[in-house]
Amino acid sequence: MGPIELWAPVLLSPMAGVTDQPFRRLCREFGEAGLSQDLQTQLPAAHAHVDAPAGLYVCEMITARALVEDNAKTRQMVAPDPRERVRSVQLYGTDPHVLEQATRILVQNAWADHIDLNFGCPVPKVTRKGGGAALPWKLDLFTDIVRAVRAGVKQVGRDVPVTVKLRIGIDSEHTTFRDAAQIAQDTGVAAVALHGRTQQQHYSGEADWDAIAELKSLLSIPVFGNGDVFSGADAQKMLDHTGVDAIVVGRGAQGRPWIFHDIVAALTGANKPEAAPTLKEVAEVIVKHAELMIEYSRSEEDAMRNMRKHIGWYLRGFSIGGQQRLTLQRVNTLSELVGQLQSLDLQQPYPQAARGRRGRAGKPKKTHLPAGWLDSRTLSTAGRRDVALNETHADGG
């Protein structure tokens, strides 16, 4: 992928509020543990710039405007983990000029060795303003954004590859992935990732791996596949079905960072069994995650608040009483967390219910778009101005 070599063809998908620095470190360490012993002896030093032994682990989505405005929360989010081998950041925005500025900031400060552009988010607060999965419908704006980011990289003079993340389209009647991917390739991006669902599907139903295979057949640059990978076996099945160059994992990693051990082992031929941690081993991961979160956060209370969703995901499927789960969701200190975990029956084996799908699938949702969005594949000058003005700080900045 440009100058970056992925030893294992897997990426952690950026997820808002999830793929922060502590979670990325856990996922990466599990991924590296999935490498064969021979490959582990060849691991480069931290922040090697070009070597991604266990794949890429992408920072949660960063809003370009908030970065340009030097928002404190956004600066914290984009701060690289000093142990990261390749610094990978996803940018979101709807104004080409602002995205170009944000790109220069990332590259000049060496905060990113790889930039991914978000054109796949289906969340209404993003799409109703013309961003995310809605944006590729406007071919002119999509083209200008990709060109602007590529220009921002060139102005600084570092070889930082740009990739784009797409969905199939807005709905089955308004597909965008073929046109957008071809534009991206023609504009010089290093790779395209496709989530095999439309904006309307959100996370419901089944991911369309046939569409991913079609895109792979259309492009000459690398294509990454995303959707319904919840195990190492799933990753191999997607690879076999689509022929993609790498697998992108999102919801499958929630509460299960060891999935990268399984996927890396499966895709690199390491002869290792899939992880099946006991509750004691899961509790140890939770404590380590909490310790990393405290190092990363402004306060221990903030760290524990951010851990609550992760705790629920980690404990999925284990036999734990309702009151115990509720108490764990309310801990405010690391010592409280450790004490509550120690009170559980830690000898429980990894449950079958903890395997398989993760996240809320739900049902197809109404598509939220700007008024008249589908009337044309291009934007008027006034429409472009409105989209830029309505841009939200989707990362909370």
Q: How many CB atoms lie within 10 A of CB 79?
A: 15
Per-residue CA distances from 185 to 14, 38, 188, 206 (Å): 22, 35, 5, 27
In the annotation, is 27 catalytic?
A: no
Per-residue CA distances from 296 to 66, 73, 243 (Å): 20, 12, 38
**Residue tagged active-site, from 107, 121, 247, 290:** 121
Do residues 20 and 297 touch, judged by C-beta distance below 8 A? no
Query: Which stretches within 20-138 are classed as H helix?
Result: 21-33, 37-40, 64-68, 72-78, 96-108, 124-127
Calculate ∠ Cα 378-60-370, nearest 5°: 25
372 Cβ partners below 8 Å, 6+ apart?
none
Do residues 249 and 216 touch, judged by C-beta distance below 8 A? no
* Phi/psi of residue 3, nearest 5 degrees: -80, -5
Q: Is the dihedral of CA 95, 101, 104, 106 positive or negative?
A: negative
Picking from 286, 334, 332, 397, the residue whose alpha carbon sits closest to that of residue 16 is: 397
12 Cβ partners below 8 Å, 6+ apart?
19, 24, 27, 28, 55, 56, 57, 58, 248, 249, 250, 253, 260
Question: CB burial class (10 A; 0-12, 13-18, 19+) of residue 37?
Answer: exposed
Per-residue CA distances from 345 to 57, 320, 327, 336 (Å): 33, 8, 15, 17
Which one-letter amino acid corresponds to residue 62?
I
C-alpha 324 chain-centroid distance: 31
- Residues tagged active-site: 121
